[in-house]
Amino acid sequence: MNQRSPIAVYQEPQLGRSSLVLGWSEDAGDLGRKVTDYLNLKLKGQEFAGIEPEDFFPMSGVAIKDNIARFPESKFYACPERELVIFQTDSPLAEWYKFLNSVLDVAERHCRVRELYVLGAMITFSAHTTPRQLLGVVNSTGMKEILSQYDLNRDMDYQTQPGERPTLNSFLLWLARERNIPGVSVWVPIPFYLAAMEDVQAQKKVLSFLNERLDLKIDFGDLDQEIRRQNEQLALARSRSPQIDDYINRLESNIMLSQEENGELIKKIEEFLGEGD
Amino acid sequence: MGIRLYQEPQLENPILVASWPGIGNIGIIAVDTLREILEAEEFGEIEPWEFFYPKRVLIRKGVLEYLEFPGSKFYFKRIRGRDMIFFIGEEQPTEGGRMYAEGRDAYRMAGLVLDVAERFKCRRVYTSGAAVALIHHTARPRVWAVPNAGNLISEIKAYQNAVLMSDIEGRGGHGNITGLNGLLLGVAKRRGFEAICLMGEIPVYLQGLPLSYPKASKSVLEVLSHSLGIEVSLDKLDELDQKVERTIEEFYQQIPLEIRGQLDKLKHVAYAQPVEPGPITEEEERKIVEDVEKFFKKRGEGG
């Protein structure tokens, strides 16, 4: 059996007791990538390690997205001033146990991580104007207690439904618990018609929580501006298209749309926001 | 990662019977039914984490309480000096979204199963799976038996309702057994175990349906219990078969008349006399397979 480690550390980060924030690159609303990109930008994250892709992704070619060839990436960034580690990664397609343990190996051995924050986006059939409520799933009662002072619903009951599988977030939290690393999976709802684009409001909701919990001292002025811009675009779409307005009105009144109408709304919003770019 | 044994049962001359899910779950239903009838006791497992993605999570009041993985468990039963070890794998370890195990993980899993067999001085291994055949669902499925050594052929010839690959029309003694039910046979050979894979026939037009096919499991269990020299009641499988039969019949009636007409010809296939001109020609056989493939393709496209 091949025992080669997939971890590549380029430079030892200078960290005390840090926290790790993990974002998946291909989340709904591009949440994981956007949030981790934003943190890296604001906190000047320095790449210090990565996980080699060959064991975890089919090396059968490259995917093309937005005209550009993509290759699976799993990168760690350090922000020593805030005792923060950021891990941005594509979701592995094989050898999940090995991949997630590699993440935790870097966290433990190189970053002395004391807490883990895993980001997740969940698609909701609510309107974008509905206030977003963060949902937290923790791997220890201690972590639940710690998070009690934050705006995070921590009382969810859930079990896997037939035909479904647990998320990678749950798998990672479970493995972290085996190592006595407290962790939370932070879920934010993304309206279905923004899932294929980005949802700045959802990003800010998650970032605000992290900002407060990890004392990151980030000023969100630029993000607020982005939210205003996206809301204005959506308002414009509603004013120009009675159909979009009708669909969103109904969602705001908690009336479910049919599958066909859902598809229609997605298409129209994508067309409209696409034109605005 | 590896094997976790909860106890070390004292076993005499044990035989290993192993199975994983596959087409129609034929093998695993046969083996699991035997395990249940004999009330075999669980004594160990293969640790699942490196092989499988978790199958179930339980979150209560926001706390992740439990993550469950597909099981790969060992059971034992003492029977008059010919004890038995069962291995039941709830899933095959797959890579890259394939249906059946292959590659490194599959080879490792097969090796671990045989490690346990070796530890208890077992020398005979049975595996079980499905054989996709041009038969009708009203026919009694035969059992294709594939040994991993020539000296087992005479034994197989004495089994009722079992055939060697060389007995199967148009096969010329050749074929493939996909996934771990087959791989274990090969790894067993490499490690000096004698092994036999018993495959129950499933009609070609049922292979893609998400249905169990207990009728073939029953055929497998008949052969297996005969080979092991034990008597078992098949009532449970009969009951299951009757339930599934109704669903199959409903499905069958939905098949377009033209294709069903072709499939009906399979009712008259006489395997016992392959040298005589049968009621179905090679050309008709080819047409049946083509029609069935077209039908399923169309159903798939239709959503």
Each residue's pLDDT tens digit, A206-220: 999 999 999 999 999
pLDDT mean across residues, chain A: 93
* C-alpha atoms less than 13 angstroms from C-alpha of A116 in its C-beta half-sphere: 31
Q: What is the pTM of this model?
A: 0.84
Q: In this model, does residue B302 exceed pLDDT 50?
A: no
pLDDT score at B272:
43
**Residue B63 resides in a domain:** yes
Same domain, B206 and B259: no
Tally Cβ neighbours within 10 Å of residue A123: 14
> Out of A51-55, A123-127, B93-97, which region has the weakest mean confidence (pLDDT)?
B93-97
The secondary element (H helix, E strand) that includes residue A31 is helix A31-43
Same domain, B199 and B261: no
**Residue B302 resides in a domain:** yes
What region, left, alpha or beta, does residue A29 occupy, with left being phi > 0 and alpha being psi -120 to 50 degrees?
A: left
Pick the residue from chain A with its C-alpha nearest to B60.
A157
Residue in the block written with tokens 């005479």: B154
Tens of pLDDT, residues A177-200: 999 999 999 999 999 999 999 999
Show the domain range for B259.
255-303
d(CA A226, CA A233): 11
Same domain, B107 and B186: yes
**Residue B299 resides in a domain:** yes
Decide if A97 and B56 are in contact by the 8 Å CB cutoff: no
The β-bridge partners of A88 are A23, A75
**Residue B249 resides in a domain:** no
Tens of pLDDT, residues B155-202: 999 999 999 988 876 666 677 788 888 899 999 999 999 999 999 999
Same domain, B202 and B282: no
Residue B11: strand, helix, or coil: coil
d(CA A151, CA A209): 7
pLDDT score at A133:
92
Q: In this model, does residue B276 exceed pLDDT 90?
A: no
Residue in the block written with tokens 């079992």: B162
pLDDT score at B97:
57
Same domain, B16 and B127: yes
**Residue B248 resides in a domain:** no
Domains identified in chain B, total number? 2
Same domain, B225 and B265: no
Same domain, B263 and B118: no
Same domain, B163 and B296: no
d(CA A122, CA A131): 14
Decide if A159 and B58 are in contact by the 8 Å CB cutoff: yes
pLDDT mean across residues, chain B: 86
pLDDT score at B254:
87
Same domain, B126 and B31: yes
Which residues of chain A does B57 touch, with a Cβ-Cβ cutoff of 8 Å?
Answer: 158-160, 166-167, 170, 174
Tens of pLDDT, residues A63-108: 777 777 889 999 999 999 999 999 999 999 989 999 999 999 999 9
**Residue B118 resides in a domain:** yes
**Residue B186 resides in a domain:** yes
**B174 lies within 8 A of chain A by CB:** no
Q: Give me A80's structure tokens.
A: 């020593």
Which of B1, B53, B58, B59 to mutate to test binding with chain A, by most A CBs within 10 Å of its CB?
B59
Same domain, B223 and B79: yes
Same domain, B262 and B227: no
Burial B203-230 (b: 16+ CB within 10 A, else e): bbbbbebebbbbbbbbbbbbbbbebbeb
User: Which domains are assigned to chain A?
Assistant: 7-218 (3.40.50.10900), 224-276 (no CATH)
d(CA A199, CA B209): 40
Mean pLDDT of B2-11: 95
pLDDT score at B102:
67
Dihedral of CA atoms B108, B109, B112, B118 in degrees, nearest 10, equals: -110
Decide if B61 and A154 are in contact by the 8 Å CB cutoff: yes
